[in-house]
Amino acid sequence: MDMWEAVIVGGGPAGLSAGLHLSRAGHRVILVEKGRLGGQARGLGRLENYPGFLSINSDRLMDRWLRQARLWGLKTCRAEVRRIRRAQQGFLLSLDQGRGLSAQAVVYCPGAIFKDLGVPGEKRLLGRGVFHEAGDEVSRWKGRAVVVAGGGEAAAHQALALARSARKVFLICRGEKIRAHRLLQKRLASSGRIVKVFGAEVCRVLGKKRVQAVEIRSRAGLTRISAAALFVLVGKIPARLPWSRSPAGFFVAGDAQGWPFRQVAIASGDGMRAAMECIRFLEKP
């Protein structure tokens, strides 16, 4: 059982920010992430609203972030945290493959999980034409038609990114308008490749080995759209917390808080806040 002052659960912007600050303050810290370090932020593509950068690739930003944290001594471990328990002097964390960690404190930053549509064909074709993000692989869809389901800023961003390469992007929105700020609205309106379909919803994903078409339901009835991919961006659910009320030494940060405002800069700042609270806890007299 490895002993640490603090364990960070989750390697997205909040977790990396917390790890950077705790390590820089001289504490022995390990960050546990089951997937890619950088989390879902790596799949955002170009970021235009992260302070200090006019525009930066999200992969590049996460790489810089990770390198900076490791320079201060942050250790990382690729594993899934299966269980967190209270111990006499802190916490016990059970990982996959029978591994375990113990720590005086835990900074919990597992983020949020993409919602599914819950329609036939969606789960079966996940990763084979059904995705939640495209990242910088938008050129993969050059000259092809794709569908984006969602009516918020995430869906708008994804549609605009895909429109740089795809022949046609069908943006399927259940409501009567896209809920996005004015700059995104302006860009959507000026794109000749994005077709906005309001008052409609995806009801079936078709294809044997890969997505071949998407069926939508609207006032006009059922319509089948031939498409190579479906991007589902209909919201997120915060990762479940181990306790309804956080015990002493347990700090939650980032999208796991359940806030409606999900931005890389917000998660980063909240990770820093949690790290500062954690340091106060570890260094208390």
User: Taking a C-beta distance cutoff of 8 angstroms, is the pair 41, 236 a contact?
Assistant: no
Residue 125 lies in a domain: no
Q: Which of 207, 232, 257 is the last residue of a domain?
A: 232
Say whether both 242 and 228 belong to one domain. no
Say whether both 88 and 138 belong to one domain. no
User: Taking a C-beta distance cutoff of 8 angstroms, is the pair 159, 152 a contact?
Assistant: no
At a CB cut-off of 8 Å and minimum separation 6, what does 6 contact? 22, 27, 28, 29, 30, 103, 104, 105, 106, 107, 278, 282
Residue 47 lies in a domain: yes
Give me the DSSP letters along 127-146.
TTTEES--TTGGGGGTT-EE
Q: How does strand 75-78 pair with strand 56-57?
A: unpaired
Say whether both 103 and 206 belong to one domain. no
Low-confidence stretches of the chain (pLDDT < 70) are 1, 136
Q: Which of 190, 217, 232 is the last residue of a domain?
A: 232
Domains in the chain: how many in total? Answer: 2
At a CB cut-off of 8 Å and minimum separation 6, what does 85 contact? 91, 92, 93, 94
Say whether both 93 and 151 belong to one domain. no
Say whether both 155 and 250 belong to one domain. no
Residue 13 lies in a domain: yes
Say whether both 178 and 41 belong to one domain. no
Look at residue 78 in the predicted model and tell me its pLDDT. 95
Say whether both 228 and 135 belong to one domain. yes
User: Taking a C-beta distance cutoff of 8 angstroms, is the pair 211, 129 a contact?
Assistant: yes
Q: CATH number of the domain that 189 lies in?
A: 3.50.50.60
Residue 119 lies in a domain: no
Say whether both 108 and 134 belong to one domain. no
Residue 95 lies in a domain: yes
Residue 121 lies in a domain: no
Residue 167, domain extent: 130-232
Say whether both 63 and 105 belong to one domain. yes
Q: What does the pLDDT look like over 184-230, one tens digit per residue?
A: 999 999 999 999 999 999 999 999 999 999 999 998 899 999 999 99
Say whether both 39 and 141 belong to one domain. no
Say whether both 88 and 152 belong to one domain. no
Look at residue 1 in the predicted model and tell me its pLDDT. 66
Residue 40 lies in a domain: yes
Please give the structure tokens belonging to residue 261.
Answer: 């405002």
Look at residue 136 in the predicted model and tell me its pLDDT. 66
